[in-house]
Amino acid sequence: MERFEELFKSSLRWLFVAAGIAIVTASVHLFNNTGSSDAIQLLGPQLTSEDNTQTSEATSARMSAQSTTPLAGQSTHFREVDSWDRAAIVAAYNAEFFRIEPPMGFTGAVASCTAGTTNPEYRASVIQRVNWYRVMAGLQPVAEKTQYSEANQQAAVMMSNNGRLSHYPDATWKCHTEEGEISSGRSSLALGIAGVGAIDAYIADFGDNNREVGHRRTILYPQTQLVGTGDVPGSEGFYPSNTLQGFDSKIWSRRPEVPEARDFVAWPPSGYVPPETVWTRWSFSLPESNFSNANVAVKGPNGAVQAEVIARVQSKGRSAPESSIVWSMNGTTDSVPFTPVPTGGHDDCYDVTISGVMTNDGNTLAPFEYTNCILDMSLPATGAAASSSRAASSSSRSRAVLAAPRGGD
């Protein structure tokens, strides 16, 4: 019965999350707070010349290693755990995804173009979801910059009132403001969903226009320290909306160390991963690299898994200033998504090998290898032995796991 319930829940999840592509840009179907599914539009942030000149620090330098003390400007308390500590990862997932989201407390009005505000607790909740994904990927958490959120709020009202998304809304747009226009160009944009659900949609990054998973890569950009979020509810005939500024003045600063020995950032990451956070598109990012000749091989619990490369992103300042490779798993698509629910009474592990990666100077790097294990959530927290020889021999790395954040600059 427990196995049936687990499979049933997964089927419902994908019914809501990936029913298909429906509107203009990236459309996914997500379960919202009202229990219905909405067509979601997404647009990723665009870098500007102003962003490019915010700092000239070399990206090749490395900052000091992670510690349990948040960096300046960060307000989220966190502790470090072993990414292969199954019980800790299960607890982190349950704490984040089964909590009650605070009320939005929207004080504006979309119909009258009043941006208003949202509750600080609500904004902290949205950023907490951002941070859950960041720390699961081995990155430092971020904090809110209220100046960003104020502009994001104007952008969210603009998107909702006009019923469409654009990084370049001009004065012809209803509810247009200069701050909202600038924020629109620097932010991920969602229409049809708000709050933590929008963050999940950005990480999933379905849709033909999002094959490069730009929203995900923005959220998982190591240098970022400060973000902003703007949200409006669906009401008065208008769609809910979220706008999330994911780049700050540190965009071109020195890259902090990440737990992976070879500096990569992947989603899903190495270690244990809850199945509800594993999507059709997998991604791997690395600074100062070239993926034009790179290939991906994946070995799953039943042998080789088809890994179709759908995007090779070179660092040219678009979406995120790091090169990446993106692949879809096992021949899956938006309409027939990858549903990695283990069924053998143990966690299912996937060994990923990425070969043919070059430096910007044209030197070929040794293959990158890592393993993630998709959790069987029906098992006790301590679980069963991982079904991968590579996973069994993997060395531990630390990952920050969140407690509740505090708002502020």
> In the numeric block, which tokens belong to residue 127?
């950023």
The count of other CB atoms within 10 Å of the CB of residue 395 is 7
Q: Residue 150: enclosing H or E segment and its boundaries?
A: helix 146-162
- List C-alpha distances in Å: 171 to 115, 168, 175, 176, 177: 16, 10, 9, 6, 8
Rounded CA separation 199/8 (Å): 24
- Of all residues in the chain, the percent with pLDDT exceeding 70 is 73
Q: Where in the chain is the domain with CATH 2.60.40.1220?
A: 265-402
SS3 295: strand
Asked if 134 and 142 count as a contact pair (C-beta separation under 8 A), the reply is yes
Amino acid occupying residue 328: S
Q: Which residues contact 335 (CB under 8 A, 6 or more apart)?
A: 18, 19, 20, 21
pLDDT of residue 40: 66
Angle at 291 between CA 289 and CA 296, to 5 degrees: 125
Q: Identify the CA nearest to 287 among candidates 60, 133, 134.
A: 60
Asked if 17 and 39 count as a contact pair (C-beta separation under 8 A), the reply is no
Q: Residue 215: enclosing H or E segment and its boundaries?
A: helix 214-219
Rounded CA separation 35/341 (Å): 23
Q: Which residues contact 406 (CB under 8 A, 6 or more apart)?
A: 75, 76, 77, 124
SS3 277: helix
How many angstroms separate the first and last alpha carbons of the chain? 48
The DSSP-derived string for 231-275 is EE-SBTTB--EEEEE---TTTTSPBPP-SSTT--EEES-SEEE-G
The DSSP-derived string for 15-41 is HHH-S---SSS--EEEE-TTS-EEEEE
- The predicted model scores a pTM of 0.81
SS3 198: helix
Rounded CA separation 8/168 (Å): 42
pLDDT of residue 9: 43
pLDDT of residue 107: 98
Rounded CA separation 125/119 (Å): 10
Which stretches within 45-99 are classed as H helix?
A: 49-52, 86-97
pLDDT of residue 19: 29
Fold of 265-402: Immunoglobulin-like (2.60.40)
SS3 69: coil
φ/ψ bin of 351: left (φ > 0), alpha (ψ from -120 to 50), beta (otherwise): beta
Segment-wise mean pLDDT, segments of 10 residues, the chain, 409 residues: 42 34 31 39 58 31 28 41 88 95 97 98 97 94 97 98 96 98 96 97 93 95 96 94 93 86 94 95 95 97 95 72 92 79 88 96 96 94 64 54 39
Q: Identify the CA nearest to 112 among candidates 238, 230, 229, 228.
A: 238
Rounded CA separation 13/226 (Å): 31
Query: What is the chain's mean pLDDT, rounded?
Result: 80
Q: Identify the CA nearest to 158 among candidates 172, 144, 147.
A: 172
> In the numeric block, which tokens belong to residue 292?
């034009």
Q: Where in the chain is the domain with CATH 3.40.33.10?
A: 2-255
Q: Which CATH architecture has domain 2-255?
A: 3-Layer(aba) Sandwich (3.40)
Q: Which residues contact 332 (CB under 8 A, 6 or more apart)?
A: 280, 338
> In the numeric block, which tokens belong to residue 37?
């599914």
Asked if 306 and 277 count as a contact pair (C-beta separation under 8 A), the reply is no
